[in-house]
Chain A
Amino acid sequence: MEVIVFVKRVPSFEDEEIRIKEDGRTIDLSGAPFKINDWDSYALEEAVRLVEQLGGAATAISIGSEEDDEVLRRAIAMGARHGYLIRERDLLEPIKRAMLARSLIEKEGLRFDLILTGVQAEDDQFASFGGILAGLLRIPSASMVVAIEEVKEGSLVVRREIEGGVQERIRISLPCLLSIQTGINQPRYVSIMGIRRASKVERKVIEGRDLISGYEERVRLERFSYPEKREGAKILKGDLHQICSELLRILREKGVL
C-alpha cells in the first residue's frame, strides 16, 4: 500500500505563556519550543504500521520553512521512506495549504492508495486541511478516524469518533483520505540517533511558488486577541499546607468528604 502522510511542525504553549506581538497580527514564538503536531504523530504511526503490515512505502510531506525539515527527519526515523518539504512562508489559509499539497502530488506524480493527515493542528486548530485536499482531489474522505478495522481489496472499514462516546463504522473506497484522531495507536519512540540516521535520507525541497502561482488571499487575519476574562476562580493563597487544608475544608463543606 502506498501511503502519503502530512506532518506539521508546531510551536507548543503547553507550559509557556503566549504573547501577541504589538502589531496585533502575530504571536511571539521566540520562547516556544517546537514539536511535531500531536495529531500528526498518530497519523504517521498509522501510516508506518500499514506499510509494515501490507508492504509498500510511506511518504511524508511537510509544508513550511527549512526548520520544518525536523519533522520529516522524525517521520523517516519512524519508518517513512521518502520526505518532501514544500517551502512556503505565508500559510495561514488551509485552502492554500491543500492546493499546494494537491499540486505537489500531481506534479511529482506521487502514487497513493491512502492519504493520512491529523484531524487538526495544535496551533491554528482549523481541522480542515485533509477534507479540503480530498475535495480538491475528488477522493472520498473521513475525519475523526479512531480505528482502521479492515483493509480489503479496494476499500477500508474504519471507525469515526462522534460525540458522547459513540463511534460510527463506515466503509470507504480506496484511494481515499483519512484524518486521524489522537489515541488511535501509541506512536513509537524515536531516538536522537534514529533521527540523525534519518538525516542521511534525501528530503526533496520544492518551492511553493513553483506549485501554485497567482494565489489570491481569500481570508485575512486581522488581529489576535486574548480570551475574554470571565469571573474566574478564587485562587487559594498561603503556603501549600494551608492551601491544601483549605481545599479539604471546601470538600467537607460541599459534603463530599
Chain B
Amino acid sequence: MSYNLCFAEVREGRFEERNLDVLGLSRLLGDQTFLLLPKTCGGVQGAERVIEVDLKEEDFLSPLCLVTVIEEVKKRHGDPTFLLFPHSSFGMDAAPYISGYFGLPLLTDLSSQSEGLFLKSFFSEKVFGGFRFICPPPFVLTVRSGAFKRFAKEEGTPEREEMKVEIGEEKRGFLGYVIEESQDVDIAKADFLLSIGRGVGTLEEIPRYELLAQKLKATLCASRPVIDKMWLPKSRQVGISGKTVKPKVYLAMGISGSFQHIQGMKDAECIIAVNRDPNAPIFQYSHFGVLEDMHRVRDILLELLGGE
C-alpha cells in the first residue's frame, strides 16, 4: 500500500497551522496520508493514519532523532512515496538532512503543484521554477506555508498507531527556548506603521525616517535587511521571524516584499508601498503604490508636513 509520510511541527503542545499545508499537498498527491507527530499532541484530523511517536516534542523535531523514527516507519509500512515537511525553521533543518542521510531527491519551498510539476520560488518570488522528479520514489518535499491549506481534509477519524523508538546519547540536544525581552514599543499594537526596507541604503538615512514617523504619528519598523544590519532593534522586525502585524495602515518604503515579510503584514487593512522597482512583489499585495525612490518620497512628505 502506498502512502505519504507527513511530519507535524508541534511546539509547546501546539499543532502549528502550517502543518495543514503539508497535509493539503499530501492529499493532492494522491496516496494515503500518514501523519507523524509526538505523542503529547492529540486530536488531529486530515490524515488516514496518525502515528504517535513516544518522544518528547523537542526530540521529535531533531533531524537526528527523525532518522531513527523514519527507519521504524519503513520497517512497519515500507517506503513512503513522499516525505513532506513544512518549509519552516523545522523543515529547513530536518528535510535536507533526511534527504542526504537516505540519499533521496529533494524539492523545497513548494508553493504550487499540478500533475507532478512542482513550483518553487527563485530570487524572492521574482520567478518560479517548475520541477519534476525523474527517478523512482521516495521523494522529500518542503511545503510553503499558506499554499495548500485549503486542500487539507477536515473530517474523518484517522486510525491511530503508537510507536516507541529508542534514542541514545544524541549528538544534538535541545536546551530551551529563548525569547528576547524588550522594553521597546510593541509594533503589533500600532495602528499605523511606517516600515522601511533594504532600499534605505545606509545608516545615515535612518534619522530622517524616524523624523517622518514622528511627523506622521506612525511607529517605525522594518524588514529583515535593516534589522540584520542592526540599524533598528530586533523588536521592530516585521515578518515570519519577527512580528506579525495587522495595523490600519502599513506604509512600506523600499521593501521589495519577500515571502517572509509579506506573511508578517499581508492582513493590514490598508497597505501602501513605495518602491522604484515596478516588479517588486510587494505591489501585488498593496492597495496603493508609489513608483518612486523612497528618499524622494520621504523628503516631499516631510516638506508637506512642515517637518523641516
Specify whether A and B are partners.
yes
In whole angstroms, what is the CA distance A167 to B228 when docked?
15
Q: Is A168 an interface residue (CB 8 A)?
A: yes
Contact bitstring B169-185, A, C-beta under 8 A = 1, else 0? 00111111111100000
Contacts of A229 in B (CB 8 A): 284
B158 contacts partner chain A, Cβ-Cβ < 8 Å: no
Out of B126, B133, B173, B249, name the residue touching A171 (CB < 8 Å).
B173
Could you tell me which residues of chain B, from 126 to 140, have a CB within 8 Å of some CB in chain A?
126-135
B234 part of interface (Cβ distance < 8 Å): yes
Q: Choose among A15, A17, A157, A248 the residue that contacts B175 (Cβ–Cβ < 8 A).
A: A157
* Nearest neighbor of A233 in chain B, beta-carbon distance: B289
Tell me the A117-146 residues at the B interface (CB within 8 Å): 119-120, 122-144
Distance between B95 CB and nearest chain A CB, rounded to angstroms: 7
A193 interfacial contact with B, CB 8 Å: no
CA distance A239 to B32 in the complex (A): 59
The answer to whether B287 and A164 touch across the interface, beta carbons within 8 angstroms, is: no
| Chain B positions within 8 Å of A138 at CB level | 101
Encode A161-197 as 1/0 by CB contact (under 8 A) with B.
Answer: 1111111111111001000001100100000000000
- Return the chain A residue nearest B240 by Cβ: A163
Whether the pair A128, B106 counts as a contact (CB closer than 8 A) is: yes
Nearest-neighbor residue (CB-CB) of B179 within chain A: A166
Are A250 and B270 in touch, CB under 8 angstroms? Answer: yes
Which segment of B22-30, B35-43, B45-53, B117-125 sits at the interface?
Answer: B117-125
Task: Say whether B172 contacts A172, CB under 8 Å.
Answer: yes
Asked if B68 is an interface residue, CB under 8 A from chain A, the answer is no
What residues of A have a CB within 8 angstroms of the CB of B106 in the complex? 94-95, 126, 128, 132
User: Knowing A165-B241, A227-B281 touch, does A18 contact B134 (C-beta < 8 A)?
Assistant: no
Quick check: A168 and B174 within 8 Å, CB to CB? yes
Quick one: closest A residue to B193, CB to CB?
A256
Size band of the interface chain A makes with B: 35 or more
Chain B residues near A218 (CB, 8 Å)? 105, 133-135
Docked-complex contact B89 and A225, CB < 8 angstroms: no
Kindly supply a per-residue 1/0 record for chain B positions 100-120, scoring 1 wherever the CB is within 8 Å of any chain A CB and 0 otherwise. Answer: 111101111100000001011
Q: Flag whether A230 is at the interface (Cβ < 8 A).
A: yes
Distance A54 CA – B252 CA, assembled complex (angstroms): 43
Q: A132-B99, A134-B97, A168-B178 are in contact. Are A123 and B172 (CB under 8 A)?
A: no
| A142 and B100 contact, CB distance less than 8 A | no
Q: Is the CB of A132 within 8 A of B97?
A: yes
The residue that B171 contacts in the complex, of A133, A161, A172, with Cβ under 8 A, is A172
The chain B residue sitting closest to A169, CB to CB, is B175
Chain A positions within 8 Å of B117 at CB level: 222
Task: Name which residue of chain B comes closest to A122, CB basis.
Answer: B123
Q: Considering the chains assembled together, what is the distance between the CA atoms of A225 and B173 in angstroms? A: 41
Chain B CB within 8 A of A201 CB: no
Q: A125-B124, A129-B96 are in contact. List 17 more A-B contacts (CB 8 A).
A: A15-B276, A119-B92, A126-B109, A131-B94, A136-B101, A169-B175, A170-B174, A176-B172, A183-B228, A183-B230, A218-B134, A225-B128, A227-B126, A233-B271, A240-B300, A254-B248, A257-B217
Q: Jot down 29 A-B pairs with beta carbons below 8 A, ordered by A.
A: A98-B100, A125-B108, A131-B100, A134-B96, A136-B100, A140-B64, A141-B93, A141-B97, A144-B92, A162-B89, A163-B89, A164-B243, A165-B241, A168-B175, A169-B177, A170-B174, A173-B171, A183-B230, A222-B132, A223-B129, A227-B284, A233-B289, A234-B287, A236-B290, A240-B292, A244-B300, A244-B301, A256-B191, A257-B192
Ranked 3 nearest A-B pairs via Cβ = A135-B100, A131-B96, A233-B289
